Amino acid sequence: MKLVLVSAVALIDADGRVLLAQRPEGKSMAGLWEFPGGKVEQGETPEAALIRELHEELGIGTWASCLAPLTFASHAYPDFHLLMPLFACRKWEGTPQSREGQALKWVRPNDLRDYPMPAADIPLIPILRDWL
């Protein structure tokens, strides 16, 4: 089975809310909410992938030193196995804006369960909630 490495981040604002992005129409799992991030390309570290994805998807800049490893997901989907480190980030430059047509929402940790998410993301919620 193919292993897919995806890097994700919990962006945490000054009020302790977490940014979720909704997968746009036309993508697999469209309509589900997820932590921002994306596939780690060949020769890239998970941190470098996140810095690139945050710039591409949200128009913000951050640094590897601001990405704190928090937890990870390991989930078997029917056609691949997802390994996804989740980082926490409280410091970035710019204001997150949708650059790929995805809806964005700042969500309180206790309300994360109200948003339908991909199966791999769901076990991350209690860990994130307890940490915040």
pLDDT the model gives residue 17: 97
Looking at residue 42, what DSSP letter applies? T
d(CA 7, CA 120): 12
Residue 37 tokens, joined: 């991030």
Give yes or no for a contact between 67 and 9, defined as CB atoms under 8 angstroms apart.
Answer: yes
Alpha helices in 1-132 (DSSP H): 46-58, 124-131
User: Whole-angstrom Cα distance, residue 132 to residue 128?
Assistant: 6
Q: Is 108 annotated as a binding residue?
A: no
80 annotated binding-site participant:
no
46 annotated ligand-binding residue: no
Instruction: Check whether 109 is labelled as a binding-site residue.
Output: no
* Domain coverage including residue 68: 3-131
CATH number at residue 114: 3.90.79.10
| Count of beta carbons in the 10 Å neighbourhood of residue 81 | 14
Q: What is the pLDDT at residue 27?
A: 84
Starting at the edge strand found earlier in the chain, the sheet holding 18-22 runs 33-34, 18-22, 104-107
Q: How many domains does the chain have?
A: 1
35 in a labelled binding site: yes
Please give the full DSSP string across 14-37, using - where no structure is assigned.
TTS-EEEEEPPTTSTTTT-EE-SE
Q: Give the per-residue pLDDT at 25.
A: 86
Q: Is 57 annotated as a binding residue?
A: yes
Per-residue confidence in pLDDT tens, the chain, 132 aa: 999 999 999 999 999 999 999 998 888 889 999 999 999 999 999 999 999 999 999 999 999 999 999 999 999 999 999 999 999 999 999 999 999 889 999 999 999 999 999 999 999 999 999 998
